[in-house]
Structure 1
Amino acid sequence: MTEKVAIVTGSNKGLGFAVVKGLCQKYAGTVYLTARNETRGLEAVKKLNEDGLKPEFHVLDVCDSDSIKNFANYIKTKHGGFDVLVNNAAILEWDEVYPSYEAAKRNINCNYRSLLKLEEYLYPLLRDNGRVVNISSACGHPSNIKNKHWIDTLVNKDVTTDDINSFVDGYLESVRNGTFNMNDFADEGKHAEHRVSKIALTALTMVQQRKYYKRNISINAVDPGHIKTEMAQGGGVLEPDEAAKAVLYLILEASPNLKGIFMGQDKKLIDWYDTEGDYYCKGIW
Structure 2
Amino acid sequence: MTASRIALVTGANQGLGRALVEGLAARMQPDDLVLLTGRNPQRVSEAAHEVAQLPGSRARVEGRVLDVTDSGAIGRLADELRMRHGGLDVVISNAVARVLPDESQSARADEFIDVSNTATHAILRSFGPVLRPGGRLLVVASSLGTLGHLDPRLHHLFDGADLDQVEDAVESWRTAVHNKTAQEAGWPRWLNVPSKVAQVAAVRALAAERRERDLADDVLIASVCPGMVDTATSRPWFSDYSHAQSPTDAARAVLDLIFTEPVDPALYGELIRFGKPLPWHDGTPPIEQDRLLTP
TM-score (norm 2): 0.83
CA contact (8 A) 1:151 1:275 kept: no
Cα-to-partner distance string for 1:13-36 (whole Å, 9 max, x where unaligned): 110111111111112332111111
Partner Cα separation in structure 1 for residue 206 and residue 68 of structure 2: 18
Match of 2:143 in 1: 138
Which stretch of structure 1 is more off in the superposition, 21-30 or 120-129? 120-129
Match of 1:64 in 2: 70
Match of 1:230 in 2: 232
Partner Cα separation in structure 2 for residue 136 and residue 31 of structure 1: 21
Judged with a 3 Å threshold, the aligned counterparts in structure 2 of structure 1 residues 228 and 275 are, in CA distance, closer, same or farther, namely closer
Match of 2:173 in 1: 171
Match of 2:8 in 1: 7
Equivalent in 210, 213, 224 of residue 212 of structure 1: 210
Tell me, which stretches of 5 or more residues in structure 2 are unaligned? none
Match of 2:153 in 1: 149
Judged with a 3 Å threshold, the aligned counterparts in structure 2 of structure 1 residues 144 and 274 are, in CA distance, closer, same or farther, namely closer
Q: Does 1:242 align with 2:244?
A: no
CA contact (8 A) 1:108 1:196 kept: no
Cα-to-partner distance string for 1:144-183 (whole Å, 9 max, x where unaligned): 212x23124423xx32123322322222222111222178
Match of 2:92 in 1: 86
Alignment length (residue pairs): 273
CA contact (8 A) 1:59 1:71 kept: no
Shift in Å at residue 71 of structure 1? 2.1
Shift in Å at residue 275 of structure 1? 4.3
Partner Cα separation in structure 2 for residue 55 and residue 212 of structure 1: 30
CA contact (8 A) 2:9 2:91 kept: yes
Shift in Å at residue 66 of structure 1? 3.5
Partner Cα separation in structure 2 for residue 32 and residue 282 of structure 1: 39
Shift in Å at residue 2 of structure 1? 7.3
Partner Cα separation in structure 1 for residue 276 and residue 250 of structure 2: 13
CA contact (8 A) 1:142 1:275 kept: yes
Aligned partner of residue 34 in structure 1, secondary structure: strand
Match of 1:267 in 2: 275
Q: Read off the aligned partner of 1:177 and give its amino acid letter.
A: N
Judged with a 3 Å threshold, the aligned counterparts in structure 2 of structure 1 residues 205 and 120 are, in CA distance, closer, same or farther, namely closer
Shift in Å at residue 128 of structure 1? 2.6
Identity %: 27
CA contact (8 A) 1:58 1:71 kept: no
Aligned partner of residue 86 in structure 1, secondary structure: strand
Partner Cα separation in structure 2 for residue 119 and residue 244 of structure 1: 21
Which stretch of structure 1 is more off in the superposition, 206-215 or 1-10? 1-10
Cα-to-partner distance string for 1:52-82 (whole Å, 9 max, x where unaligned): 3241221111111342234224323431210
Q: Read off the aligned partner of 2:139 and give its amino acid letter.
A: N
**Cα RMSD (Å) of the superposition?**
2.4
Partner Cα separation in structure 1 for residue 98 and residue 257 of structure 2: 25
Match of 2:18 in 1: 17
Partner Cα separation in structure 1 for residue 77 and residue 17 of structure 2: 18
Judged with a 3 Å threshold, the aligned counterparts in structure 2 of structure 1 residues 120 and 261 are, in CA distance, closer, same or farther, namely closer
Matches within 5 A, 1:103-122: 103-122=108-127
Match of 1:181 in 2: 183
TM-score (norm 1): 0.86
Partner Cα separation in structure 2 for residue 249 and residue 142 of structure 1: 26
Shift in Å at residue 200 of structure 1? 0.7
Partner Cα separation in structure 2 for residue 195 and residue 108 of structure 1: 11
Aligned partner of residue 182 in structure 2, secondary structure: coil
Judged with a 3 Å threshold, the aligned counterparts in structure 2 of structure 1 residues 124 and 267 are, in CA distance, closer, same or farther, namely closer
Q: Does 1:203 align with 2:201?
A: yes
Which stretch of structure 1 is more off in the superposition, 82-91 or 108-117? 108-117
CA contact (8 A) 1:139 1:281 kept: no
